[in-house]
Chains A and B, each alone.
Chain A
């Protein structure tokens, strides 16, 4: 088992890491649907469940730290809706035509809450799943392996391109390009910085294509797989259960039995 971190992935040996990626994907889908279709109080239950799952998998610390990524988004949802909620009834602190209101706060809390829950589930999924395993699992289910290649290749290329972008920034500054200062200066810096990245990368496509063809990419309709992804019976039962749970969410949502 490799020990390096890729993207969000945190190496580990928990029960969550051991689950088949497709099972976890289905679980994520269930959380997504539940967060948006069930009444707002269900969000609390979902959040508690996710946090306990994280704790039992040893990922709680990482989970909490990851919340700083969308922190600005959450704050924004809360603040903008709390203060700028249109058509609200009573204003707590009026400021001109807008102002703080209970309706706004409630709307903001519910919206942010849904996003938080989905975010937690997604991040937990990514912490415990290697993209390579996820895609291998999907390919085994019929996804075109050439598409899987595109995704994995893009994931590896992004940091390389960012390194290249830094090199280009250096190289152009060494030719006298100024990148700080007035808006006009910064706008004029766009083309000398973006141009080489894009053109250079496009030129490279030629050689990349040759390299792929040299490795017989796409030569045969079916390919064999080196990487194997385990799919024990536990996972199959779990997936059946999750499918049932998804149907249950729809039924509960549209039958109107749940209190608001």
Chain B
């Protein structure tokens, strides 16, 4: 028996009612002070592995399990809750769902776990105070947990687990719903926790988090296809073959011929690229995204003029914002949480009405039109798909929008077919959307709006919670929509996604527009400090390029390498 905090050997898991196993013959070990990352596409088995590591399978979730799992010295496959309590803590991706929702303050929320462990009252405050300090949330101690922002809630969730003194921490996509600042926070925190001697197992898509791991597993269809330091595991030889697109920095590091340890070191990458002749990276074996073409349609311009929006408590969310979107433009709107991006965009389809100023489409003010009347012209895809899905089948759900437009049945059927192919959901047409993972549900919600063929498409955080192929898919949809001459507006946290697919980037801060221009300009080195003041950083390729060629801002690794090759 090793001293590993978590030891998994030959694990196979098959859920009751499913034919395919979720995991096959997986082995790993996490020692105290070590971070082990797990990468893979959606559905590869990352969450299942996290649930096993947390002791939930087969105890809470019914599944057929083979192999051996030990948390400390406890056999996790046969343990009861009292035996596991306090030994392993698990953190999920939805911050709000992890709160007990029964405590009025953050302090008491942290105490919840201690109460359940029957820790004596006299000891509680000391432990709570130390964890509050550790995570830098002391100023939130008397706040109501459900009223906090996503990033703050996630920190509270982690704190609530840490305060219980668990030595093993398992995290399942903890940054999926956070903005870049929140993601960086969590990554740094994991490093500190490991330095403190805790064992950490983290399943993630975000490269910023996986780079903190000492070792990464890559899963594909339930099997381990490779293990190694992040620079190798996420590179083209392992992740690339599993259908994952390697992170930009890793691609550049490989092209520059750097060892795996330097895969995320921007300075060394820039230096190596400046020196030598970079080799072209191998193409990742991504699935064929044969995206059908979209019909052209007449599109009107959008004009937002001097719009002011006030919340009920009088705070101004938008302070005189003006924006004109010509027909057929692709605009990415970026900014920190709270900058007013969603508020502004919700004025375009009438969900919010301005306190002052005017919003018009095609020159006509939309003030008198109701939201459902505008829906045929402006398609709005919300961030949370679960706010829209209610049918028992994907194809029925996708048809909901066209049916609301009172179109004839055969036209609805044709639109549904087209939308399903665009979103890559043809194989899942009969599945219950809620039986699909979160990222696939996002595609279903997207498809249901695409089926309405709106001339103007508005997407609210389409890439949040998506894996690599999912982001590719959304990107290709944006490209198709634009190729058809239709307008696309997207709010996103993913700067690389914005740079690759959008011809115009609008940066917001505190309810005002701060920057507006093509990505090549917005992300160039002369704007870095202005960007930083809004809480954003340029995409990785642009950051590297800033060190090599001033005023150049390539969107991704391929673009940067082409730029360098051109001399």
Direct contact of A and B (CB under 8 A): yes
Pick the residue among A195, A209, A216, A224 that contacts B85 (CB under 8 A): A216
Asked whether A156 lies within 8 Å of B113 as measured between CB atoms, the reply is no
- Report whether A175 and B449 are in contact in the complex, using a CB–CB cutoff of 8 Å: yes
B residues near A164, Cβ cutoff 8 Å = 387
Bound CA–CA A182/B96 (angstroms): 38
Q: A209-B60, A215-B160 are in contact. Are A160 and B114 (CB under 8 A)?
A: no
Q: What 3 pairs between A and B have smallest CB-CB spacing?
A: A195-B390, A176-B404, A216-B85
Q: Counting CB contacts under 8 A, is A94 at the interface?
A: no
Q: Which interface residue of A4, A203, A207, A214 has the most chain B CB atoms within 10 A?
A: A214
* Least CB separation from A175: chain B residue: B401
Q: Which of B119-127, B190-198, B207-215, B243-251 contacts A (4 or more CB under 8 A)?
A: B119-127
Known contacts: A177-B404, A219-B85. The answer to whether A224 contacts B389 by CB under 8 A is: no
Q: Are B82 and A170 in contact (CB under 8 A)?
A: no
Binding-face segment, B98-106, B130-138, B293-301, B498-506: B98-106
Cβ of B382 under 8 Å from chain A? yes
How far is B92's CA from A194's CA once the two chains are assembled, in angstroms? 26
The answer to whether A219 touches B82, judged by C-beta atoms less than 8 angstroms apart, is: yes
Assess A219 versus B116: contact at CB under 8 Å? Given A172-B388, A211-B100. yes
Given A207-B92, A217-B116, A226-B121 contact (CB < 8 Å)? yes
Task: Let me know if A210 and B60 touch, CB within 8 A.
Answer: yes
Whether, in the assembled complex, A199 has its beta carbon less than 8 Å from a beta carbon of chain B, the answer is yes
Determine the residue in chain A with the shortest Cβ distance to B404.
Answer: A176
Instruction: Report chain A residues within 8 Å CB of B94.
Output: 204, 207
Closest to A170 in B: B351
Q: Is the interface of A mostly helix, strand, loop or mixed?
A: helix
Chain A residues near B351 (CB, 8 Å)?
170, 173-174
* Selected contact of A2 from candidates B142, B449, B452, CB within 8 Å: B142
| Contact between chains at A224 and B386 (CB < 8 Å) | no
Most buried by A among B56, B94, B100, B120: B100
Contact of A223 with B387 at beta-carbon distance under 8 Å, contacts A178-B372, A208-B97 already known: no
Residues of A within 8 A of B96 (CB): 160
Contacts A200-B386, A210-B60, A226-B108: A216 and B164 contacting too (C-beta < 8 A)? yes
| Extra A-B contacts (14), CB below 8 Å, given A191-B390, A220-B117 | A4-B144, A153-B101, A167-B387, A170-B346, A176-B376, A176-B401, A180-B370, A192-B390, A192-B400, A195-B390, A209-B60, A210-B92, A215-B100, A225-B121
B213: min CB distance to chain A, Å? 22
Option from B54, B119, B384 in Cβ contact (under 8 Å) with A210? B54
B178 at the interface (CB under 8 A from A): no
With A213-B60, A216-B116 already in contact, the answer to whether A167 and B97 are too (CB < 8 A) is no
Collect the chain A residues with CB atoms within 8 Å of residue B346's CB.
170
User: In chain B, what residue has the closest Cβ to A155?
Assistant: B102
Is the C-beta of B264 less than 8 angstroms from some C-beta in chain A?
no
Closest CB of chain B to A152's CB: distance in Å? Answer: 4
| Interface residue B405 (Cβ < 8 Å from any Cβ of A) | yes
CB pair B452–A176 under 8 Å, yes or no, is yes
Q: Does B440 count as interface, using CB distance less than 8 angstroms? A: no
- Determine if B118 and A222 form an interchain contact, defined as CB atoms under 8 angstroms apart: yes
Q: Which residues of A128-183 are within 8 A (CB) of B?
A: 130, 132, 149, 152-153, 156-157, 160, 164, 167-168, 170-180
Q: Does B481 contact A (CB under 8 A)?
A: no
Pick from B81, B388, B389: contact of A218, CB under 8 Å: B81
* A175-B144 Cα distance, complex, nearest whole Å: 34
Chain A residues whose CB sits within 8 angstroms of the CB of B108 once the complex forms: 226-227
Please tell me which one of the listed residues B90, B115, B384, B400 contacts residue A167 in the complex, with CB atoms under 8 A apart.
B384
B97 touches A214 (CB 8 A): no
Distance between Cα atoms of A149 and B100 in the complex (Å) = 9
Least distance between B353 CB and chain A CB atoms (Å): 12
B174: interface (CB < 8 Å): no
A88 within 8 A of B: no
Closest to A153 in B: B102
For B161, list chain A residues within 8 Å (CB).
214-215
Q: Mark B339-380, 1 if CB is under 8 A from A, else 0.
A: 000000010010100000000000000000011100110011
Given A200-B387, A226-B114: A212 in contact with B401 (beta carbons within 8 A): no
A212 to B529, CA, bound (A): 43
